[in-house]
């Protein structure tokens, strides 16, 4: 049955290419969009994961670095350190700032860090240095790519001129990217005075300390690192996941339609041959198997072609569009392979109906 299915497919190579191309296009779309989702989901919390803290403590009502706002008195740090189980409570200064650069509105997530120790600094440098001084800034590669900014250029943020001394990577968050300055410059930009944005708490008892902080300071909210990561990922899961699910369904329907119509057309053209096979004793189930094998061959070839094209398309897109971040993982490829086989299985429904209606006696009529 396999050899008959292969012969039927290869009899019309153009039709085979159309069928394989339909599946490949569907797989390509799913691989790229799924990889984009994975990349965004991973990248949006890469920086937060790099921060050495067991608890993030911010203003009551805050919960993530994108949708909420937190400003709390710096003096509370000493009080937090008096709570049992707290090893340290260090200030974290960082929030989004919208400003005009080269006549265009743009947003950066400015973080104040210690250049001497690198604490809370950029994830990875790709150009320049991270040993900056006051009046200097490190920007993300995505910001540099989108604005044409280079080392030596100056950006004016909230009236504070900052010379670009380094370009980093790993801080691109879709609608904005991270940039790094000294803590003193960050305070000047935010006009914080005697306040900070968060406290980074080190403790071996995060849940107990969380309860202790919130009981003693009702105006504060404490989040374990995992909870804070989950809150920040919600930007992706709540906004983009429904869109990606719709695109996946569209891609799946396209694949089913193209493979189904291609195999159906081939079945109509081979109706006489199928009738002869029925006349000499082939059962409907044996003929169904031929069609199913044809569909699976097209689906498997389309899958591998689509995955290969997906990797190429993702690399090209990320090269030209810094915000296009993809991460293609093995578990997703296995799921997509299963979807391609399911696509091929559903696609045989129309051809099977045609086979069931073939009358063996019709092949002997003039």
DSSP code string of 28-69: HHHHHHHHHHHHHHHHHHHHHHHS--SEEEEETT---TTT--
Compute the average pLDDT of residues 121-130. 93
Average pLDDT, stretch 228-249?
A: 78
**Residue 223 near residue 55, CB atoms below 8 Å:** yes
What is the structure's pLDDT at 246?
83
Judge whether residue 318 has pLDDT over 80: no
> CA-to-CA distance for 127 and 168, rounded, in angstroms?
7
Residues sharing a CB contact under 8 Å with residue 320, sequence separation 6 or more, in sequence order:
none
- pLDDT tens for each residue of 251-291: 778 777 777 777 677 667 667 776 777 777 777 787 778 77
pLDDT score for 215:
95
Mean pLDDT taken over the chain: 84
DSSP of 163-174: EEEEEEES-EET
Q: How confident is the model at residue 244 (pLDDT cuts 50, 70, 90)?
A: confident
Question: What was the pLDDT predicted at 104?
Answer: 81
pLDDT given for residue 322 in this prediction: 60
**Average pLDDT of the residues in 295-307:** 86
pLDDT band at 214 (very low <50, low <70, confident <90, very high): very high
Share of the chain above pLDDT 90, in %: 36
Q: Is the dihedral of CA 38, 39, 42, 48 positive or negative?
A: negative
What are the residues whose beta carbons fall under 8 Å from the beta carbon of 285, sequence distance 6 or more?
none
Tell me the per-residue pLDDT of 15-26, one tens digit each, with 9 for 90 and over: 778 778 888 888
Asked whether 147 and 120 are in contact (CB, 8 A), the reply is no
Binning pLDDT at 50, 70 and 90, where does residue 8 land? Answer: low
Pairing of strands 55-59, 220-224: antiparallel
Cα dihedral 253, 255, 259, 262 in deg (nearest 10): 80
Does residue 266 or residue 322 have the better pLDDT? Answer: 266
Structure tokens at 338: 């299963």
pTM above 0.75, yes or no: no
For residue 7, the model assigns a pLDDT of 62
Half-sphere exposure of 253 (CA within 13 A, CB side): 6
Closest CA to 31 of 240, 247, 342, 243: 247
What are φ and ψ of residue 200, in 5° steps? -100, 110
Question: How many CA atoms does the CB half-sphere of 23 hold within 13 Å?
Answer: 35
pLDDT digits (tens, 9 = 90+) for 164-175: 999 998 877 666
Residue pLDDT, tens place only, 177-189? 899 999 999 999 9
d(CA 154, CA 78): 37
The residue among 23, 39, 20 whose CA lies nearest residue 315 is 39
- Taking only the tens place, the pLDDT of each residue in 41-88 is 777 778 888 899 999 999 998 877 776 789 999 999 999 999 999 999
The pLDDT value recorded for residue 139 is 94
Angle of helix 241-269 versus helix 349-356 axis, rounded to 10 = 30
pLDDT at residue 357, as a whole number: 74
pLDDT value at 229 more than 90: no
């Amino acid at each position: 049955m396999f050899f008959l299915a292969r012969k039927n497919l290869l009899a019309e190579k153009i039709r085979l290419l159309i069928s394989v191309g339909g599946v490949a296009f569907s797989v390509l779309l799913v691989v790229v969009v799924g990889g984009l989702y994975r990349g965004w989901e991973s990248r949006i919390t890469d920086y937060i994961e790099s921060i050495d803290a067991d608890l993030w403590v911010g203003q009551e009502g805050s919960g993530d670095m994108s949708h909420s706002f937190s400003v709390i008195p710096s003096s509370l740090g000493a009080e937090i350190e008096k709570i049992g189980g707290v090893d340290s409570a260090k200030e974290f200064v960082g929030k989004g700032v919208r400003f005009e650069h080269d006549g265009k509105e743009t947003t950066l997530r400015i973080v104040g860090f210690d250049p001497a120790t690198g604490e809370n600094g950029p994830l990875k440098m790709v150009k320049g240095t991270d040993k900056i001084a006051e009046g200097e800034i490190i920007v993300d590669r995505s910001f540099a790519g989108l604005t044409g900014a280079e080392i030596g250029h100056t950006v004016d943020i909230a009236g504070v001129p900052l010379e670009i001394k380094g370009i980093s990577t790993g801080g691109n968050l879709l609608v904005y990217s991270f940039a790094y300055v000294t803590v003193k410059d960050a305070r000047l930009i935010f006009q914080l005075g005697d306040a900070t944005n968060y406290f980074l708490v080190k403790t071996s008892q995060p849940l107990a300390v969380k309860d202790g902080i919130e009981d003693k300071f009702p105006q504060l909210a404490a989040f374990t690192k995992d909870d804070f990561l989950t809150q920040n990922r919600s930007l992706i899961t709540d906004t983009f996941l429904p869109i990606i699910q719709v695109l996946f369904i569209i891609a799946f329907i396209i694949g089913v339609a193209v493979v189904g119509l291609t195999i159906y057309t081939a079945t109509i053209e081979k109706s006489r041959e199928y009738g002869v096979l029925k006349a000499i004793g082939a059962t409907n189930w044996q003929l169904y198997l031929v069609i199913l094998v044809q569909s699976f061959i097209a689906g498997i070839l389309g899958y591998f072609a689509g995955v290969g094209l997906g990797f190429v398309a993702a690399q090209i897109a990320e090269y030209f569009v810094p915000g296009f971040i993809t991460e293609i993982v093995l578990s997703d490829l296995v799921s997509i392979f299963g979807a391609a086989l399911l696509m091929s299985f559903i696609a045989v429904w129309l051809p099977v109906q045609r086979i069931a209606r073939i009358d063996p006696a019709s092949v002997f009529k003039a």
